[in-house]
Amino acid sequence: MALPIITADQPLIVQAIITYIYADPGLGKTSMGFTGDKAISFDFDKGAHRTGELRRGAVVPVQQWSDVANITLQDLAPYNTVVIDTVGAMLESIKTHLLGNRENRQKDGSLKLKAQGLANNIFTQYVNNLVSSGKDVVFIAHASEDNSGDQVIYRPDLGGKNRNMLYRIADIMGYLTTVTTSEGKSARVISFKPSPTHHAKNSGALGGETGEVWVPDLKEHPRFLADLINQAKGHINTLTPAQLEEQKAQQDLGNWEQSCNEAKHAGDINELTASLVKEHRYYEVMRKTLLYHAKRLECTFNKELNKWIGPKEFLGITDEQRDELQDLLAQNNVDVMTFCEEQGIDNLLAINAADFQAVKAHIMNNFKEAAIA
Protein backbone atom coordinates (compact mmCIF):
# COMPACT_ATOMS: atom_id res chain seq x y z
CA MET A 1 0.00 0.00 0.00
CA ALA A 2 1.42 3.38 -1.01
CA LEU A 3 2.24 5.80 1.80
CA PRO A 4 -0.07 8.86 1.66
CA ILE A 5 2.29 11.82 1.31
CA ILE A 6 1.12 15.43 1.51
CA THR A 7 3.62 17.66 -0.23
CA ALA A 8 4.54 21.17 0.95
CA ASP A 9 2.30 22.80 -1.68
CA GLN A 10 -0.81 20.79 -0.70
CA PRO A 11 -3.24 21.75 2.08
CA LEU A 12 -2.92 19.71 5.28
CA ILE A 13 -6.44 19.05 6.52
CA VAL A 14 -6.87 20.07 10.17
CA GLN A 15 -9.54 18.13 12.04
CA ALA A 16 -9.36 19.97 15.36
CA ILE A 17 -8.18 23.38 16.52
CA ILE A 18 -7.63 25.31 19.75
CA THR A 19 -9.83 28.35 20.35
CA TYR A 20 -8.99 30.86 23.09
CA ILE A 21 -11.61 33.35 24.38
CA TYR A 22 -10.97 35.76 27.25
CA ALA A 23 -13.28 38.40 28.71
CA ASP A 24 -14.35 40.32 31.78
CA PRO A 25 -16.76 38.56 34.18
CA GLY A 26 -20.44 38.50 33.30
CA LEU A 27 -20.17 38.59 29.51
CA GLY A 28 -21.32 35.00 28.96
CA LYS A 29 -18.05 33.29 28.01
CA THR A 30 -19.04 30.14 29.92
CA SER A 31 -22.43 30.05 28.19
CA MET A 32 -20.68 30.56 24.85
CA GLY A 33 -18.58 27.46 25.49
CA PHE A 34 -21.73 25.35 25.45
CA THR A 35 -22.51 26.48 21.89
CA GLY A 36 -19.59 24.37 20.67
CA ASP A 37 -20.33 21.19 18.75
CA LYS A 38 -21.35 18.45 21.25
CA ALA A 39 -19.56 20.31 24.01
CA ILE A 40 -18.39 19.09 27.39
CA SER A 41 -17.10 21.62 29.91
CA PHE A 42 -14.34 20.97 32.42
CA ASP A 43 -15.58 23.34 35.13
CA PHE A 44 -12.38 24.27 36.98
CA ASP A 45 -13.81 27.69 37.89
CA LYS A 46 -16.99 26.20 39.42
CA GLY A 47 -19.27 28.57 37.51
CA ALA A 48 -21.20 26.35 35.09
CA HIS A 49 -24.33 26.51 37.26
CA ARG A 50 -24.65 30.23 36.49
CA THR A 51 -25.39 29.55 32.81
CA GLY A 52 -28.93 28.38 33.61
CA GLU A 53 -30.92 27.39 30.54
CA LEU A 54 -27.90 28.12 28.30
CA ARG A 55 -26.07 25.08 29.71
CA ARG A 56 -26.63 22.77 26.76
CA GLY A 57 -23.66 20.46 27.23
CA ALA A 58 -22.21 18.06 29.78
CA VAL A 59 -20.17 19.32 32.72
CA VAL A 60 -17.30 17.83 34.71
CA PRO A 61 -17.25 19.59 38.12
CA VAL A 62 -13.52 19.59 38.82
CA GLN A 63 -12.46 19.43 42.46
CA GLN A 64 -8.91 18.20 41.82
CA TRP A 65 -6.70 17.39 38.85
CA SER A 66 -7.34 13.64 39.08
CA ASP A 67 -11.00 14.32 38.19
CA VAL A 68 -9.77 15.27 34.72
CA ALA A 69 -6.63 13.13 34.45
CA ASN A 70 -8.69 9.96 34.96
CA ILE A 71 -11.10 10.76 32.11
CA THR A 72 -10.32 8.54 29.13
CA LEU A 73 -10.74 9.27 25.44
CA GLN A 74 -13.43 6.59 25.48
CA ASP A 75 -15.31 8.65 28.09
CA LEU A 76 -15.08 11.64 25.75
CA ALA A 77 -16.19 9.74 22.65
CA PRO A 78 -19.71 11.31 22.58
CA TYR A 79 -18.27 14.84 22.56
CA ASN A 80 -16.57 16.87 19.84
CA THR A 81 -15.60 19.99 21.81
CA VAL A 82 -13.80 20.14 25.16
CA VAL A 83 -14.17 23.48 26.96
CA ILE A 84 -11.61 24.31 29.64
CA ASP A 85 -13.20 26.85 31.97
CA THR A 86 -11.00 28.52 33.00
CA VAL A 87 -7.59 27.66 31.64
CA GLY A 88 -5.91 29.59 34.46
CA ALA A 89 -7.74 27.49 37.05
CA MET A 90 -6.72 24.33 35.18
CA LEU A 91 -3.04 25.27 35.40
CA GLU A 92 -3.42 26.01 39.12
CA SER A 93 -5.16 22.64 39.60
CA ILE A 94 -2.19 20.84 38.07
CA LYS A 95 0.24 22.78 40.27
CA THR A 96 -1.81 21.99 43.39
CA HIS A 97 -1.71 18.32 42.39
CA LEU A 98 2.08 18.42 42.10
CA LEU A 99 2.38 20.13 45.50
CA GLY A 100 0.99 16.92 47.00
CA ASN A 101 4.42 15.38 46.39
CA ARG A 102 6.89 16.87 48.86
CA GLU A 103 9.69 16.30 46.34
CA ASN A 104 8.09 19.12 44.32
CA ARG A 105 7.91 21.55 47.26
CA GLN A 106 10.41 24.06 48.48
CA LYS A 107 10.80 24.50 52.21
CA ASP A 108 8.44 27.47 52.20
CA GLY A 109 5.73 25.30 50.60
CA SER A 110 5.94 26.81 47.11
CA LEU A 111 6.42 24.77 43.94
CA LYS A 112 10.00 24.18 42.82
CA LEU A 113 11.00 25.70 39.49
CA LYS A 114 11.46 22.25 37.94
CA ALA A 115 7.97 21.24 39.05
CA GLN A 116 6.50 24.39 37.50
CA GLY A 117 7.99 23.27 34.20
CA LEU A 118 6.49 19.82 34.77
CA ALA A 119 3.06 21.42 35.30
CA ASN A 120 3.30 23.15 31.92
CA ASN A 121 4.38 19.88 30.29
CA ILE A 122 1.42 18.00 31.80
CA PHE A 123 -0.94 20.70 30.59
CA THR A 124 0.49 20.82 27.05
CA GLN A 125 0.54 17.05 26.67
CA TYR A 126 -3.06 16.73 27.86
CA VAL A 127 -4.29 19.37 25.41
CA ASN A 128 -2.26 17.86 22.56
CA ASN A 129 -3.82 14.45 23.26
CA LEU A 130 -7.29 15.97 23.00
CA VAL A 131 -6.51 17.67 19.69
CA SER A 132 -4.81 14.54 18.32
CA SER A 133 -7.97 12.56 19.09
CA GLY A 134 -10.00 15.00 16.99
CA LYS A 135 -11.49 17.11 19.78
CA ASP A 136 -11.73 20.86 19.34
CA VAL A 137 -10.42 22.53 22.49
CA VAL A 138 -11.75 25.84 23.78
CA PHE A 139 -9.81 27.80 26.41
CA ILE A 140 -11.89 30.20 28.50
CA ALA A 141 -10.01 32.84 30.51
CA HIS A 142 -10.62 35.97 32.54
CA ALA A 143 -9.24 39.25 31.23
CA SER A 144 -6.89 41.54 33.13
CA GLU A 145 -6.57 45.27 32.63
CA ASP A 146 -3.09 46.76 32.54
CA ASN A 147 -1.80 50.25 31.87
CA SER A 148 1.11 51.05 29.57
CA GLY A 149 1.56 54.79 29.82
CA ASP A 150 -1.80 56.29 28.86
CA GLN A 151 -2.85 53.12 27.02
CA VAL A 152 -5.17 50.55 28.68
CA ILE A 153 -4.35 47.00 27.58
CA TYR A 154 -6.55 43.91 27.98
CA ARG A 155 -4.85 40.53 28.22
CA PRO A 156 -5.68 37.05 29.57
CA ASP A 157 -5.30 37.00 33.34
CA LEU A 158 -2.30 34.67 33.43
CA GLY A 159 1.39 34.93 34.24
CA GLY A 160 3.58 36.06 31.38
CA LYS A 161 5.17 32.66 30.71
CA ASN A 162 1.83 30.81 30.68
CA ARG A 163 0.21 33.62 28.68
CA ASN A 164 2.79 33.35 25.93
CA MET A 165 2.68 29.54 25.94
CA LEU A 166 -1.10 29.51 25.46
CA TYR A 167 -0.90 32.11 22.73
CA ARG A 168 1.59 29.94 20.87
CA ILE A 169 -0.51 26.78 20.89
CA ALA A 170 -3.86 28.48 20.14
CA ASP A 171 -5.08 28.70 16.55
CA ILE A 172 -7.48 31.58 17.17
CA MET A 173 -7.68 33.91 20.16
CA GLY A 174 -10.24 36.62 20.77
CA TYR A 175 -11.07 39.29 23.33
CA LEU A 176 -14.77 39.32 24.20
CA THR A 177 -16.03 42.75 25.23
CA THR A 178 -19.06 45.04 25.01
CA VAL A 179 -19.45 48.06 22.73
CA THR A 180 -22.13 50.69 22.19
CA THR A 181 -23.71 50.53 18.76
CA SER A 182 -24.71 53.54 16.64
CA GLU A 183 -28.25 53.03 17.96
CA GLY A 184 -26.97 53.45 21.52
CA LYS A 185 -27.45 49.79 22.42
CA SER A 186 -24.95 47.54 24.15
CA ALA A 187 -23.62 44.62 22.11
CA ARG A 188 -21.01 41.93 22.57
CA VAL A 189 -18.17 41.50 20.11
CA ILE A 190 -15.15 39.21 19.90
CA SER A 191 -12.08 40.85 18.43
CA PHE A 192 -9.70 38.37 16.81
CA LYS A 193 -7.43 41.03 15.34
CA PRO A 194 -4.55 42.12 17.61
CA SER A 195 -4.32 45.81 18.44
CA PRO A 196 -2.51 48.08 20.91
CA THR A 197 -5.49 47.66 23.29
CA HIS A 198 -5.68 43.87 23.40
CA HIS A 199 -3.97 40.61 22.46
CA ALA A 200 -5.53 38.39 19.77
CA LYS A 201 -4.74 35.85 17.06
CA ASN A 202 -6.59 35.13 13.84
CA SER A 203 -5.24 32.11 11.96
CA GLY A 204 -8.83 31.40 10.92
CA ALA A 205 -9.35 34.80 9.23
CA LEU A 206 -12.50 35.43 11.27
CA GLY A 207 -14.40 38.72 11.08
CA GLY A 208 -13.01 39.91 7.76
CA GLU A 209 -10.70 42.94 7.70
CA THR A 210 -11.77 44.18 11.13
CA GLY A 211 -11.40 40.77 12.77
CA GLU A 212 -14.60 41.50 14.73
CA VAL A 213 -17.34 38.91 15.24
CA TRP A 214 -20.60 40.11 16.75
CA VAL A 215 -22.14 37.77 19.32
CA PRO A 216 -25.83 37.07 18.73
CA ASP A 217 -28.48 35.96 21.23
CA LEU A 218 -27.16 32.52 22.16
CA LYS A 219 -30.69 31.26 22.83
CA GLU A 220 -31.47 31.76 19.15
CA HIS A 221 -28.02 30.65 17.95
CA PRO A 222 -27.17 27.51 19.96
CA ARG A 223 -24.33 26.60 17.53
CA PHE A 224 -22.60 29.97 17.51
CA LEU A 225 -19.16 28.73 18.63
CA ALA A 226 -19.43 25.51 16.59
CA ASP A 227 -20.05 27.55 13.42
CA LEU A 228 -17.20 29.93 14.29
CA ILE A 229 -14.76 27.06 14.77
CA ASN A 230 -15.86 25.41 11.52
CA GLN A 231 -15.36 28.70 9.69
CA ALA A 232 -11.83 29.00 11.08
CA LYS A 233 -11.04 25.40 10.10
CA GLY A 234 -12.35 26.08 6.62
CA HIS A 235 -9.81 28.85 6.15
CA ILE A 236 -6.93 26.99 7.81
CA ASN A 237 -7.53 24.01 5.54
CA THR A 238 -6.97 26.17 2.44
CA LEU A 239 -3.37 26.79 3.53
CA THR A 240 -0.39 24.59 2.79
CA PRO A 241 1.68 23.37 5.76
CA ALA A 242 4.40 25.87 4.86
CA GLN A 243 1.92 28.75 4.67
CA LEU A 244 0.30 27.80 7.97
CA GLU A 245 3.67 27.47 9.72
CA GLU A 246 4.81 30.87 8.44
CA GLN A 247 1.52 32.50 9.40
CA LYS A 248 1.71 31.17 12.96
CA ALA A 249 5.39 32.15 13.23
CA GLN A 250 4.63 35.72 12.16
CA GLN A 251 1.71 35.94 14.60
CA ASP A 252 3.98 34.68 17.39
CA LEU A 253 6.49 37.37 16.48
CA GLY A 254 3.83 40.08 16.49
CA ASN A 255 2.57 38.99 19.91
CA TRP A 256 6.14 38.84 21.20
CA GLU A 257 6.89 42.38 20.06
CA GLN A 258 3.65 43.59 21.64
CA SER A 259 4.45 41.85 24.94
CA CYS A 260 7.97 43.32 24.95
CA ASN A 261 6.58 46.79 24.30
CA GLU A 262 4.25 46.37 27.29
CA ALA A 263 7.01 45.20 29.67
CA LYS A 264 7.33 47.50 32.68
CA HIS A 265 10.04 46.01 34.88
CA ALA A 266 12.63 43.26 35.25
CA GLY A 267 9.95 40.76 36.32
CA ASP A 268 8.27 41.10 32.93
CA ILE A 269 11.60 40.66 31.15
CA ASN A 270 12.31 37.51 33.19
CA GLU A 271 8.91 36.03 32.28
CA LEU A 272 9.52 36.76 28.61
CA THR A 273 13.00 35.24 28.80
CA ALA A 274 11.52 32.05 30.28
CA SER A 275 8.99 31.78 27.44
CA LEU A 276 11.50 32.32 24.62
CA VAL A 277 11.75 29.20 22.43
CA LYS A 278 15.15 28.62 20.82
CA GLU A 279 13.63 26.45 18.09
CA HIS A 280 11.30 29.20 16.92
CA ARG A 281 11.80 30.40 13.37
CA TYR A 282 12.21 34.00 14.54
CA TYR A 283 14.22 33.22 17.68
CA GLU A 284 17.08 35.62 16.86
CA VAL A 285 14.69 38.48 16.08
CA MET A 286 12.72 37.79 19.27
CA ARG A 287 15.90 37.61 21.36
CA LYS A 288 17.16 40.93 19.98
CA THR A 289 13.77 42.52 20.65
CA LEU A 290 13.91 41.26 24.23
CA LEU A 291 17.43 42.64 24.73
CA TYR A 292 16.36 46.00 23.33
CA HIS A 293 13.53 46.31 25.81
CA ALA A 294 15.67 45.04 28.69
CA LYS A 295 18.03 47.92 27.89
CA ARG A 296 15.06 50.30 27.63
CA LEU A 297 14.09 49.38 31.19
CA GLU A 298 17.73 49.68 32.32
CA CYS A 299 17.81 46.02 33.34
CA THR A 300 21.04 44.07 33.70
CA PHE A 301 21.45 40.30 33.63
CA ASN A 302 22.88 38.77 36.80
CA LYS A 303 24.69 35.56 35.81
CA GLU A 304 24.96 34.29 39.39
CA LEU A 305 21.19 34.52 39.94
CA ASN A 306 20.43 33.77 36.28
CA LYS A 307 17.87 36.56 36.01
CA TRP A 308 17.38 40.17 34.98
CA ILE A 309 17.69 42.84 37.65
CA GLY A 310 16.10 46.27 37.48
CA PRO A 311 18.05 49.44 38.26
CA LYS A 312 16.31 50.03 41.58
CA GLU A 313 15.20 46.48 42.24
CA PHE A 314 16.03 44.84 45.55
CA LEU A 315 18.50 42.01 44.99
CA GLY A 316 17.70 39.31 47.53
CA ILE A 317 19.27 35.96 48.25
CA THR A 318 18.38 32.95 46.09
CA ASP A 319 16.08 30.10 47.14
CA GLU A 320 19.15 27.89 47.51
CA GLN A 321 20.83 30.43 49.81
CA ARG A 322 17.62 30.69 51.84
CA ASP A 323 17.57 26.90 52.23
CA GLU A 324 21.20 26.99 53.36
CA LEU A 325 20.38 29.56 56.06
CA GLN A 326 17.33 27.56 57.16
CA ASP A 327 19.46 24.45 57.58
CA LEU A 328 22.10 26.43 59.46
CA LEU A 329 19.51 27.88 61.83
CA ALA A 330 18.03 24.43 62.42
CA GLN A 331 21.46 23.03 63.25
CA ASN A 332 21.85 25.73 65.88
CA ASN A 333 18.32 25.24 67.28
CA VAL A 334 17.19 28.69 66.17
CA ASP A 335 13.61 29.24 65.02
CA VAL A 336 13.49 30.89 61.58
CA MET A 337 10.59 33.18 62.50
CA THR A 338 12.33 34.31 65.70
CA PHE A 339 15.51 35.02 63.77
CA CYS A 340 13.62 37.08 61.17
CA GLU A 341 11.88 39.10 63.88
CA GLU A 342 15.25 39.86 65.48
CA GLN A 343 16.59 41.00 62.09
CA GLY A 344 13.51 43.11 61.39
CA ILE A 345 12.56 41.23 58.22
CA ASP A 346 9.44 39.30 57.15
CA ASN A 347 11.29 36.26 55.82
CA LEU A 348 14.77 35.10 54.84
CA LEU A 349 14.30 36.14 51.21
CA ALA A 350 14.28 39.74 52.42
CA ILE A 351 18.03 39.44 53.09
CA ASN A 352 20.18 41.38 50.63
CA ALA A 353 22.25 39.07 48.43
CA ALA A 354 25.37 41.13 49.18
CA ASP A 355 24.88 40.39 52.90
CA PHE A 356 24.54 36.62 52.57
CA GLN A 357 28.03 35.68 53.76
CA ALA A 358 27.85 38.18 56.62
CA VAL A 359 24.48 36.79 57.79
CA LYS A 360 25.79 33.25 57.52
CA ALA A 361 28.84 34.17 59.61
CA HIS A 362 26.56 35.95 62.12
CA ILE A 363 24.51 32.79 62.65
CA MET A 364 27.58 30.61 63.03
CA ASN A 365 29.37 32.97 65.41
CA ASN A 366 26.47 34.11 67.57
CA PHE A 367 24.29 31.04 67.87
CA LYS A 368 26.86 28.23 67.95
CA GLU A 369 27.63 28.66 71.62
CA ALA A 370 23.95 28.86 72.50
CA ALA A 371 23.35 25.61 70.62
CA ILE A 372 26.18 23.88 72.52
CA ALA A 373 24.95 25.19 75.85
- Per-residue model confidence as pLDDT tens digits over 115-145: 888 998 999 999 999 999 999 999 999 998 8
Judge whether 304 lies within some domain.
no
Judge whether 9 lies within some domain.
no
Given a cut of 60, is residue 371 above it in pLDDT?
A: no
Judge whether 110 lies within some domain.
yes
Which range marks the domain in which residue 291 is found? 249-299
From CA 33, how far away is CA 28, in angstroms rounded?
Answer: 9
Specify the number of domains making up the chain. 3
Model confidence over 239-257: pLDDT tens digits?
A: 888 888 899 999 999 999 9
Query: Do residues 119 and 201 both lie within one domain?
Result: yes
Mean pLDDT, residues 285-306? 93
Query: Do residues 284 and 360 both lie within one domain?
Result: no
Using the 3D structure, point to which of 196, 220, 239 is the last residue of a domain. 239
Using the 3D structure, point to which of 208, 239, 270 is the last residue of a domain. 239
Query: Do residues 344 and 277 both lie within one domain?
Result: no
Contact 369, 336 (CB under 8 A): no
Quote the Cα angle for 22-27-29, to 5°: 50
Query: Do residues 43 and 163 both lie within one domain?
Result: yes
Count of CB atoms situated within 10 Å of the CB of 213: 19
Model confidence over 161-190: pLDDT tens digits?
A: 888 889 999 999 999 999 988 888 899 999
Contacts of 189 (CB under 8 A, 6+ apart): 176, 177, 178, 179, 212, 213, 214, 215
Of 8-22, 69-83, 263-277, 280-294, the one with minimum mean pLDDT is: 8-22
Using the 3D structure, point to which of 239, 263, 279 is the last residue of a domain. 239
Model confidence over 146-160: pLDDT tens digits?
A: 877 678 889 998 877
Judge whether 244 lies within some domain.
no
Model confidence over 181-235: pLDDT tens digits?
A: 888 889 999 999 999 999 999 999 999 999 999 999 999 999 999 999 999 999 9
Query: Do residues 110 and 172 both lie within one domain?
Result: yes
Model confidence over 52-88: pLDDT tens digits?
A: 777 778 999 999 999 999 999 999 999 999 999 999 9
Given a cut of 60, is residue 373 above it in pLDDT?
A: no
Residue 3 has a pLDDT of 59
CATH number assigned to the domain comprising residue 105: 3.40.50
Query: Do residues 101 and 140 both lie within one domain?
Result: yes
Judge whether 343 lies within some domain.
yes
Query: Do residues 98 and 126 both lie within one domain?
Result: yes
Judge whether 60 lies within some domain.
yes
Judge whether 309 lies within some domain.
no
Query: Do residues 202 and 63 both lie within one domain?
Result: yes
Judge whether 353 lies within some domain.
yes
Query: Do residues 339 and 192 both lie within one domain?
Result: no
Query: Do residues 194 and 253 both lie within one domain?
Result: no
Query: Which runs of consecutive H residues, i.e. helices, occur in the chain?
Result: 29-33, 66-69, 87-99, 113-132, 160-169, 224-236, 241-262, 266-275, 283-296, 319-331, 336-343, 356-372
Burial class of residue 318 (count of CB atoms within 10 Å of its CB; 0-12, 13-18, 19+) = middle
More confident: 231 or 51: 231
What is the average pLDDT value for the chain, to the nearest integer?
89
Residue 314 phi, psi (nearest 5):
-65, 130
Query: Do residues 329 and 184 both lie within one domain?
Result: no
Query: Do residues 261 and 358 both lie within one domain?
Result: no
Distances (CA, A) of 367 to 209, 362, 364: 71, 8, 6
DSSP, residue by residue, 232-283: HHHHHTTS-HHHHHHHHHHHHHHHHHHHHHH--SHHHHHHHHHH--TTSTTH
